[in-house]
Amino acid sequence: MVPYDIRVIGDPVLTQRASEVTDIDSTVAALVDDMFEVMYDAPGVGLAAPQVGVSRRIFVYDSDERAGVLINPVIAETDGEWEFVEGCLSIPGLHWSVVRPRTVLLRGVDLDGNAVELEATDFEARIFQHELDHLDGVLLTERLTEEQRRDAKRALLDLTLGSPAVPPSGGLQLP
């Protein structure tokens, strides 16, 4: 059994800004191990800590080219534009075509506390941007055009109502 359930849209932890990791201790290392397990089990190509209910600035990824963890990541540079059909483990079953920068340069630290710089393009850059959004409490639904949101409204409502984590008066608010 995987150590965590993946939180689904409607869960408040997914819309909070996650806090910086100040102390990279054994708790963080254990969390990262668990996050990899959850990501591979899903299966997914990236997973951010808030998706397992932990509001900390950590994500793991495996783009096929490389795999790793980034702690306290920031986007230092972006370039170009790229349209790609994107999904999210926290919005199961739904996908949308979304435009984002094609290339990104990320900075953060690894599990040993060493500074890391990652440059990525296309698919891998998309993973990084998507996971970084999660750390800022931004879900894929906020990247949609108004038309995409309108079309998705019913399906999203079903998802939030189906989630046990939804607060009674909460749920999705789409314009």
* Locus of tokens 């998309």: 126
CB of 164 to Zn ion, least distance (A): 19
List own/partner pairs for 172-175 with CB under 8 A and 24 or more apart.
172/9, 172/10, 172/141, 174/141, 174/149, 175/146, 175/149
Smallest distance, Zn ion to C-beta of residue 90, A: 5
Does residue 131 have an active-site annotation? yes
Q: How far is the CB of 93 from Zn ion (least distance, A)?
A: 13
Of the chain, the end-to-end C-alpha distance in Å amounts to: 38
Element (H or E) spanning 147, and its range?
helix 146-161
10 phi/psi in degrees, rounded to 5:
110, -25
Find the binding residues for Zn ion in span 85-114 (CB under 5 A). Answer: 88
Considering the complex, state which of residue 8 and residue 166 has its C-beta at the smaller distance from Zn ion: 8
Q: Which is nearer to Zn ion, 68 or 87 (CB)?
A: 87
Q: Mark the segment that binds Zn ion (CB under 5 A) among 3-11, 83-91, 148-156, 159-167.
A: 83-91
Which span sits near Zn ion by CB under 5 A: 4-12, 60-68, 80-88, 145-153? Answer: 80-88
- Look up residue 124 and give its two tokens: 């891998």
State which residue, 14 or 32, has the beta carbon closest to Zn ion: 14
Q: Is the link from the previous residue into 43 a cis peptide, with omega within 30 of 0?
A: yes
Q: Which residue is catalytic, options 131, 142, 146, 147?
A: 131
What amino acid positions are annotated as catalytic residues? 131
* Residues at the interface with Zn ion (CB under 5 A): 88
